[in-house]
Amino acid sequence: MLTIIKYTFKELLYKKIFISTLLLALLYLGLYGGALYMVFQRGGTPPDLLIRASISSQLVGAGLYFSTFIVAFLTVLGSVSMVTYELETGILYGILSKPITRTEYMLGKFLGLALMLIIFSLFLIGAVLGLNLLMAGEVLYHFKLISIIKGALIYFLIPLTLLSLVFYLSTILKPLATGIVVIMNFMLGIIGGFLEQIGMVINKQELVDMGILASLFSPVDSIYRKFFSFLYDAGQSPIAILANGPFGSGHPPSIWMIFYSVGYILLFIILALRKFNKMDL
């Protein structure tokens, strides 16, 4: 299985998709850094420290929020072809005639991709926070290391939920269809998240319910909000209120959402394995 993980990783590095996503990410970080520079280094911002801190946290939120789009992009495009490619080209004949079970193969692929996505996510979170530290300086909320670690662990669930869904769908659909379904599902989660936040703000329970329903299909947004609330130690720190806002965690989901997401990942992995083990290659 280690061999599969290693070569999945290698293949990702080799494939253009990884390089192009990395370029996209750098472009994004460049723009984002530029925006931060405009806001914090070029005067004209309100002198009030609290307002500046609030602006800072909004910007951190926006930066991290849009990073999830890039992570999702890499997850879907990087994995959708990976799983089905070897099946469709017949490369799998050469691999699965070796002393390795189908389960080992699938888990190896999953872990290889997961590892890459985790590293990529860490890079993005690190870069966004780093840019903020550089540009906003003392107005930036003082993140505790432990909060960042806890938050990151939760953040990883975003690519992993998407990845598990890709794995399952690619055992039953063509790559393109899988990609479309997973991206639509991702968008559903994002829209659901917004509905939920709006519903909370304007006190419309129907909207909140719709959002919660959407997050059952696609927990990405809830995971993100939970991550953000961990980052800002919501509920513990008096200035955690700063973390409110459209990209923030004014109303973070309950901790059960985390368990739900882990269950979601396991469920789709198990379904994918069951299907794959019974499949004719």
Q: What CA–CA distance (Å, rounded) separates 83 from 69?
A: 21
Could you tell me how many residues of this chain bind another protein (CB under 8 A)? 22
CB of 7 to another protein, least distance (A): 6
Question: Interacting stretch for another protein, rule CB under 8 A, among 29-37, 92-100, 131-139, 257-265?
Answer: 92-100
Contact residue for another protein among 42, 43, 44, 97 (CB under 8 A): 97
- Considering the complex, state which of residue 6 and residue 204 has its C-beta at the smaller distance from another protein: 6
- Asked if residue 275 binds another protein (CB under 8 A), the reply is no
CA-closest candidate to residue 132, choices 36, 42, 41: 36
Q: Indicate whether 93 belongs to the interface with another protein (CB under 8 A).
A: yes
- Asked whether the beta carbons of 84 and 170 are under 8 A apart, the reply is yes
Pick from 62, 95, 118, 212: which binds another protein (CB under 8 A)? 95
Report DSSP state, residue 42: S
Query: What tokens were used for 245?
Result: 């806002």
**Lookup result for tokens 């929020």:** 65
- By the rule CB under 8 A, 11 interacts with another protein: yes
Nearer to another protein, 42 or 98 (CB): 98
Q: How far is CA 145 from CA 54, 126, 142, 148, 257, in A?
A: 21, 12, 9, 5, 23
Judged by beta carbon, residue 112 or residue 189, the one nearer another protein is: 112
- Contact stretch for another protein (CB under 8 A) within 10-18, 209-217, 228-236, 251-259: 10-18
Are 18 and 116 in contact, with CB atoms under 8 Å apart?
yes
Alpha-carbon span 56 to 137, nearest angstrom = 10
Per the CB < 8 A criterion, the answer to whether 81 and 170 are in contact is no
Q: Are 219 and 264 in contact (CB under 8 A)?
A: yes
Specify the stretch interacting with another protein by CB under 8 A; choose among 35-43, 86-94, 172-180, 210-218: 86-94
Q: Which of 14, 37, 217, 256 binds another protein (CB under 8 A)?
A: 14
Ramachandran class of 252: left when φ > 0, alpha when ψ lies in -120 to 50, beta otherwise: beta
> Do 40 and 222 form a contact (C-beta atoms < 8 A)?
no
When asked if residue 280 is in the footprint of another protein (CB under 8 A), the reply is: yes
Site string for another protein, 252-271 (x = CB under 8 A): --------------------
Residue ranges in 101-140 that form contacts with another protein under rule CB under 8 A: 101
Q: Which stretch binds another protein (CB under 8 A): 59-67, 88-96, 175-183, 242-250?
A: 88-96
Binding site residues, another protein, CB under 8 A? 3, 7, 11, 14-15, 89-101, 278-281
